[in-house]
């Protein structure tokens, strides 16, 4: 093979090698440029942070704390109570007959409670209304602990303020002038026939939602003497027309007492024995209450505050409720009703003088409040 032929082969080989090197360099530059573009796009993309973990505060007793958002279900302002639109007395209650509206507040004329009721977009476990204020009790569960959410609403059922309190909701009242609110929760236990149950009863300024204290902070007077005990439990507040004064139940030593309270003085005075869940009549002369006959069995009874005479009412079935006066002659209350749709509860009515018999007043309803 000649020398010139070898030189040509070497030259071709060098050219091919150089071409491969050039292609490799160009590919590397292109790839690097593409990668830089991709990294630049990622760097300019908005960052997404994981949601912050929200944890309930530790539960304490008693706890009352303001809520930032009083209600997730504000009602449309079209059902005013207590104002000029209030042409005749109304019944505010909870619906228990329509599964789609179960637990919603309803509004109906007092003389037509079984006609179609107006449903308000507000769900509660207890509702009460007086003057131009209402209180709605509901609950929230965190792990194995329950809290009551007490929401104060105006005449349009619009939320004004809310507070939380540890425990299960059980009783609620508004003073006749709309100045004060009171509610009770089970801190431990879930029934008034449980000797180990513990309650907390809180007073609120209904205009601002500010706490006025737990009744356990009030001084207790009996026969002119101050008494103290670690086992005091209160429930079932009912206000006088002069809303500074109220009645409630105090349990101590396993005995239930009717007490008369003074908000300004922060005192309660033991008045009578054996009264649970008192409800003051419109003329303020009598107390409707449930009287324990045996454990888990209560007889609806009326107490004359002048003579302390007791009148057992014609309702012979057990009543575990805080009654509401329909007028000076009749009492409303909630009890199981087999004829009502599930969960089988109705508002009943009975004469306050012990005569007659109990009748269904509003089928498939609970937590009555008469608004005039």
Task: Express each pLDDT in 55-106 by its tens digit.
Answer: 233 333 333 333 333 344 444 444 566 554 456 899 999 999 877 889 999 9
Q: Which helix (H) or strand (E) holds 287?
A: strand 286-294
Q: How far is residue 355's CA from residue 350's CA, in Å, rounded to a whole number?
A: 8
Contacts of 214 (CB under 8 A, 6+ apart): 62, 200, 201, 202, 203
Task: Express each pLDDT in 106-155 by its tens digit.
Answer: 999 999 998 888 999 999 999 999 999 999 999 998 777 889 999 999 99
The more confidently predicted of residues 223 and 42 is 223
- By the 8 A CB rule, do 218 and 266 touch? yes
- By the 8 A CB rule, do 302 and 287 touch? yes
* The pLDDT of residue 228: 96
Q: Please provide residue 42's backbone torsions phi and psi, each rounded to the nearest 5 degrees.
A: -65, -40
Closest Cα partner for 185 from 162, 202, 204? 202
Chain-centroid distance of CA 190 in Å reads 15
Length of the chain: 372
* The pLDDT of residue 116: 85
- By the 8 A CB rule, do 214 and 245 touch? no
* The pLDDT of residue 25: 38
Closest Cα partner for 319 from 301, 298, 338? 298
**Collapsing DSSP states into helix, strand and coil, what is residue 87?**
coil
């Amino acid at each position: 093979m000649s020398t010139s032929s070898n030189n040509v082969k070497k030259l071709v080989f060098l050219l091919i090698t150089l071409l491969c090197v050039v292609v490799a360099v160009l590919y590397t530059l292109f790839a690097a440029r593409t990668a830089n573009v991709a990294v630049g796009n990622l760097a300019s993309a908005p960052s997404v942070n994981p949601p912050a973990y929200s944890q309930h505060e530790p539960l304490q007793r008693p706890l009352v704390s303001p809520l930032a958002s009083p209600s997730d279900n504000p009602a449309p302002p079209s059902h005013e109570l207590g104002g000029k639109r209030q042409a005749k007395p109304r019944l505010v209650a909870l619906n228990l007959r329509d599964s789609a509206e179960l637990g919603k507040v309803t509004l109906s004329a007092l003389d037509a409670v079984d006609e179609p009721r107006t449903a308000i977009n507000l769900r509660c476990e207890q509702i009460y209304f007086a003057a131009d204020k209402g209180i709605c009790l509901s609950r929230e569960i965190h792990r194995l602990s329950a809290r009551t959410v007490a929401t104060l609403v105006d005449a349009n059922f619009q939320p004004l303020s809310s507070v939380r309190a540890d425990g299960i909701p059980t009783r609620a009242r508004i003073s006749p002038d709309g100045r004060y609110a009171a509610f009770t929760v089970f801190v431990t236990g879930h029934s008034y026939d449980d000797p180990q149950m513990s309650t907390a009863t809180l007073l609120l300024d209904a205009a601002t939602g500010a706490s006025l204290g737990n009744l356990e902070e009030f001084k207790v007077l009996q026969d002119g003497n101050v008494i103290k005990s670690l086992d005091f439990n209160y429930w079932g507040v009912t206000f006088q027309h002069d809303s500074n004064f109220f009645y409630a139940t105090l349990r101590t030593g396993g005995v239930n007492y009717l007490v008369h309270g003074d908000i300004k003085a922060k005192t309660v005075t033991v008045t009578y024995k054996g009264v649970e869940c008192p409800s003051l009549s419109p003329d303020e002369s009598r107390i409707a209450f449930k009287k324990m006959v045996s454990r888990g069995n209560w007889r609806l009874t009326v107490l004359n505050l002048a003579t302390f005479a007791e009148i057992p009412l014609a309702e012979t079935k057990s009543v575990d409720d805080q009654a509401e006066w329909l007028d000076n002659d009749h009492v409303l209350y909630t009890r199981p009703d087999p004829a009502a749709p599930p969960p089988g509860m109705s508002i009943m009515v009975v004469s306050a003088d012990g005569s007659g018999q109990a009748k269904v007043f509003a089928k498939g309803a609970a937590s009555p409040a008469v608004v005039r």
